[in-house]
Structure 1
Amino acid sequence: MSGPDGRRVVITGIGVTAPGGVGAKNFWSLLADGGTATRRISFFDPSPFRSQVAAEVDFDAELLGLGAQEIRRMDRAAQFAVVTAREAVADSGLEFDALAPHRTGVTIGSAVGATMGLDEEYRTVSDSGRLELVDHEYAVPHLYNYMVPSSFAAEVAWAVGAEGPTTVVSTGCTSGLDAVGYAAELIREGSADVMVAGAADAPISPITVACFDAIKATTSRNDDPEHASRPFDGTRNGFVLGEGSAVFVLEELDTARRRGAHVYAEIAGYATRSNAFHMTGLRPDGREMAEAIRVALDEARLAPEAVDYINAHGSGTKQNDRHETAAFKRSLGEHAYAVPVSSIKSMVGHSLGAIGSIEIAASVLAMENNAVPPTANLHTPDPECDLDYVPLTARDWRTDTVLSVGSGFGGFQSAMVLAHPDRRAV
């Protein structure tokens, strides 16, 4: 994806905070091993709920470098974003103090903002719901930060010293893809030179669990948490809620090369569409996702046959998995049957707005390691999902070009093409 003056945008730093391990190295280790990080919810007593499993992050904010005041000020998701951004910045090798601050920006995606903080503070000010008239004096002093998701981007900007374009993107479960896509566009058009971009969500709270219970979107397989997330499997019965963050350092390719940076991947194409159809429903033909894929490939100047691996949305609901399968066939034609596809939600759950960025991280690390992470727990393929979903075990596979897609409530459908910058014609 190049701008009017030929600016090509690449990823030079990666940070990941995900279930199963904090840090990009630990994250990839889990995926490569085909392990799962889903378990019974431990943050609160889940016994009253239909779905009692989730993919939680073992996260010690103090151990990961946050000070007492930062921990007091920030919701858990904001803490994820800052810790993850610091990892990405360190990984990039960029000296942020030497950058022009007004040419450095931040874009953070989040679907549900400070859900955990708001839930905890409501319980505090209402005395666990017993008071109809709440007492605000019992609330945390920084409650306003919880009310405005823009505080996530502000916290990251303060952490890295960015004074350029700074925003939060909230488009449901495609937020993580869209935030990175938007950041790439800012560099491409010349509005910024460096962007710190990604997403964070920490939604594992009673209110979120209750909401998904009500529409029966999450799994009720509580007796076997480790194997509860089963994308594309005929026995699946809903997704597993997760949490986490992934953040990247984006910059222009020529600049990265001049400073000798390690370039993970080029953001070669990106597109997003809406189905304008239903808040939670999906058309079975996958037309809108297929259109996003087509436009992203056109922007990358790549044919469908160039795609080496598809990192699927793969939520583990029957509606989504069949919709997505149809979209791949519609957009890639016969190549859809030849390209490996997998869903990492089988291992790290569905972290709502964060998962798109976490899946970009998985895609980039798949390119880095020439391996395709598996779809864990896929033992009984759904006959309607008849593509190569890489069941159970990672596969050694040359991955020069990866397609990562997302689907979100509200009808959002997004696609991103990641490519090795030296192995494709421009």
Structure 2
Amino acid sequence: MGKNKHIVIRGTGSISPLGHNADSVSKGYTSAQPAFTSINHNGHPTPVAALSAAAEEVLQKLILSNPNYKQLDRSVLLAVYAARQAAAEAGWLQEGSPLQDGLAVNIGSSRGATSLFEQHFGSFQQNPTGSISSSASPTTTLGNLSSWVAHAVNAGGGQISHSMTCSTALMAVANGVAWLRAGMAKRFLAGGTEAPLTPFTIAQMKAVGIYSKLADHPFPCQPYAQNNQSTFVLGEGAAVFALEQVDGTELKKGDIIVETVGLGFEKIESKTGISAEGINFQKSMRHALEQLPQHDRNIDLIVTHTPGTRAGDAAELAAIKAAFGENPPAITTNKWLIGHTLGASGALSLEYAIQALRYQDVPSIPYPSKLNSLTTNVITMVMVNAAGFGGNAASVVLRKL
């Protein structure tokens, strides 16, 4: 590969309904057991994907490690946990060291400090004088995410917090790639986090008319379902990636590199901003493919966005057919296991892609679906899709050397 520059994933950190470290996450995918429970929401049984008991325990230990963490929103805490894990795996986590000015951070979230905001607003409504806690503003801003992550990993470079709704995490990776290639950072932590299992957020998703009514079903979230009903289920979690640019001569067998990042946009024609043809997906996938050499555009697997909504799933599958023709790559998703984690979903899909690349194993969809059986022999290159409200989409291509 000569001296060409490549973006390598040096470390991965996550906490989700599937697990809280590499071992538990790998076992979660291998077992292929959905991580859903049912809660009572406004008098109705409602499926959600919450952290496991083991993951919740390590998160609570994190909170006890720093007195300041007790006042932070759950979304920030999830991000801090995942970022420290990624930085540690990369060898960048140096306790008590000076700030690393070459290390930048971009953590995104669709909703941000959801739980804290709802709590503070509830207190505001109930207080006759309208007074609220002095911590309300600083702990509910979106910038709260990356600043606390940077603090936790001694990052002294750029700190970006943003929301592009459900494509947020892949947009963070896009920023990381751009910053590294531009020489604006030497190292970059990029990812997404979401803690949306609150009464108001669940009510919002139900109001759109997409939430799953299969609370008593073993698979309440069913992307590609043959029955054509929407089965969207909210989940929580975070995933962060340690990115570094290296010369081709420094690459090693087994390294996973970010080959390309493609972006797409279509004019808004609906509340969610996606057409039946999935124009935004078509554009993002083609943009990613066009950056690959003409002779080397063989995608082995696509980890799709497909959140279990009738219109969204159909649009993405139509876009894949338009971009790849009648013989598209194998297609899979992890949302039937962990639901839709909004701004963290793209990051958790990237983690799933890394699992597929490392272990060459993808669990089959266990319910009647519109997909053919997964048929791929060797997985070398994986594309990950994500889309957000407003008509935007992103596609990231990973390759295992």
The TM-score, its normalising length taken from structure 1, stands at 0.85
| 2:101 maps to amino acid | H
2:31 to 33, 45, 51: 33
Q: How do 1:198-237 and structure 2 match up within 5 A?
A: 198-224=191-217, 226-235=218-227, 236-237=229-230
Partner of residue 46, structure 2: 52
Q: Which amino acid aligns with 2:106?
A: T
Compute the displacement of 1:396 (Å).
7.9
Alignment of 1:22-171 (within 5 A): 22-41=20-39, 45-48=40-43, 52-58=46-52, 59-60=56-57, 61-64=59-62, 66-94=64-92, 96=94, 101-127=100-126, 131=127, 134-136=130-132, 139=133, 141-171=134-164
**Percentage of matched positions with identical amino acids:** 26
CA positional deviation for 1:91:
1.2
Q: What is the aligned length? A: 394
Asked if the contact 2:98/2:154 (under 8 Å) is kept, the reply is: no
The answer to whether the 8 Å contact 1:371/1:398 transfers is no
Does the CA-based 8 Å contact 1:12-1:250 persist in structure 2?
Answer: yes
Q: Tell me whether 1:275 sits opposite 2:240 in the alignment.
A: no
Structure 1 residues 304 and 174: alpha-carbon distance in aligned structure 2, compared to 1, 3 A threshold: farther
Q: Provide Cα deviations, 1:254-306, integer angstroms capped at 9, x if missing partner.
A: 39948x8x864111000212212233142111222111111111223366851
**Matches of 1:95 and 1:222, distance apart in 2:** 41
What is the aligned partner in structure 2 of residue 388 from structure 1?
A: 372
Q: Counterpart of 1:265?
A: 256
Q: State the distance in 1 between where 2:300 and 2:376 align.
A: 12
Structure 1 runs not aligned, ≥5 long: none
1:179-236 C-alpha deviation (Å, 9 max, x unpaired): 1121111111211110011110101111111111111121122232x31000101234
- 1:81 is displaced (CA, Å) by 0.4
8 Å CA contact 1:273, 1:289 repeated in 2 = yes
Q: 3-state SS of the aligned residue for 2:167? A: helix
Shift >4 Å, 4+ stretches: 95-100, 302-305
SS at 2:325's partner residue?
A: helix
Kindly indicate whether residue 187 of structure 2 is the aligned counterpart of residue 194 of structure 1.
Answer: yes
Secondary structure of the equivalent of 2:263? strand
Whole-Å separation in 2 of the counterparts to 1:11 and 1:24? 14
Name the residue aligned to 1:372: 362
2:348 matched to which residue of 1?
358
Say if 2:105 and 2:157, in contact at 8 Å, map to a contact too.
yes
CA separation in 2, counterparts of 1:158 and 1:415?
Answer: 30
Q: What CA distance in whole angstroms lies between the structure 2 residues aligned with 1:100 and 1:209? A: 39
> Deviation at 1:133?
5.1
8 Å Cα contact 1:312-1:404 kept in structure 2: yes
User: Where do residues 270-349 of structure 1 align in structure 2 (5 Å cutoff)?
Assistant: 270-277=261-268, 278-301=270-293, 306-336=298-328, 339-349=329-339
Kept after mapping to 2: 8 A contact 1:218/1:239: yes
Does the 8 Å contact 2:300/2:376 carry over to 1?
Answer: no
Q: Counterparts of 2:380 and 2:99 in 1: how far apart (Å)?
A: 33
Q: Pick closer, same or farther for the CA change 1:304–1:405 going to 2, 3 Å.
A: farther
Unaligned runs of 5+ in 2: none
Are the aligned partners of 2:107 and 2:160 in contact in 1 as well (CA < 8 Å)?
yes
Contact map agreement 2:276 2:314 (CA 8 A) in 1: yes
